[in-house]
């Protein structure tokens, strides 16, 4: 988890600086501004960092679309006060591969054992495919077959750190400043 510190406009900073504990209407203003900015950040992450035909270099902080699952999974939480002077919200994804793409790492694939059913003729000899005689023909359900077991090897895939979410949030920082500062100014003008 990585945090984004939000800077307020000088005018909004003056209003907030006068309080040791944030009054309820100030918290409400900040929450409204954060909600608005979260929507902007999500759209930015989806548009600029989770679209296109990859693969992209890790330095671009971008992932290409394969299924659209990650693109459609981006969420945010409602901003919540966590102390007298802090309000937090999260933007992320529950897709299992989002974390390795964001932070990099190694994905371990365990060894697999597959049972295959190959078609046989009436004498029990294996049948080959018509279009590629180097390959065996798979048996259809209920037809005579010979079973074989194939043992796969375990392997690791090293994922580089791409950080599409952190890059998108950092690019959205000016929008957080604008949105939260505007909500504070609107609240304290009335």
| pLDDT digits 0-9 by tens, 79-110 | 998 887 789 999 999 999 999 999 999 889 99
Domain-embedded: residue 172: yes
pTM over 0.85: no
- Residue range(s) defining the domain that contains residue 58: 10-108+156-189
Residue at 115 is within a domain: no
pLDDT score recorded for residue 190: 64
Share of the chain above pLDDT 70, in %: 98
The CA distance from 31 to 81, in Å, is 9
Q: Is residue 90 part of a domain?
A: yes
What tokens does 39 get?
A: 């929507």
CA 65 – CA 91 distance, rounded (Å): 19
186 phi/psi in degrees, rounded to 5: -60, -45
What's the number of domains the chain is made of?
1
Question: Residue 22's closest CA among 110, 86, 90, 115?
Answer: 86
Q: Confirm whether 33 is domain-assigned.
A: yes
Poorest-pLDDT segment among 2-6, 76-80, 95-99, 124-128: 2-6
């Amino acid at each position: 988890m990585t945090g984004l510190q939000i800077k307020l406009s000088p005018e909004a900073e003056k209003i907030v600086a006068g309080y040791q504990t944030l009054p309820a209407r100030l918290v409400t203003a900040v929450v409204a501004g954060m909600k608005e900015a979260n929507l902007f950040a999500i759209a930015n992450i989806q548009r600029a960092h989770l679209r296109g035909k990859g693969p992209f270099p890790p330095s671009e902080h971008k992932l290409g679309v394969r299924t659209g699952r990650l693109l459609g999974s981006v969420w945010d939480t409602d901003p919540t006060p966590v102390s007298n002077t802090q309000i937090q919200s999260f933007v992320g994804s529950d897709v299992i591969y989002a974390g390795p793409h964001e932070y990099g790492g190694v994905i371990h694939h365990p060894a697999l054992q597959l049972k295959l059913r190959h078609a046989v003729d009436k004498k029990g000899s294996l049948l080959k495919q018509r279009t590629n005689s180097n390959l065996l023909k798979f048996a259809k359900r209920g037809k005579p077959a010979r079973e074989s077991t194939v043992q796969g090897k375990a392997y690791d895939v090293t994922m580089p750190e791409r950080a599409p979410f952190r890059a998108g949030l950092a690019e959205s920082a000016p929008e957080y400043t604008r949105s939260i500062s505007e909500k504070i100014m609107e609240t304290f003008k009335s």
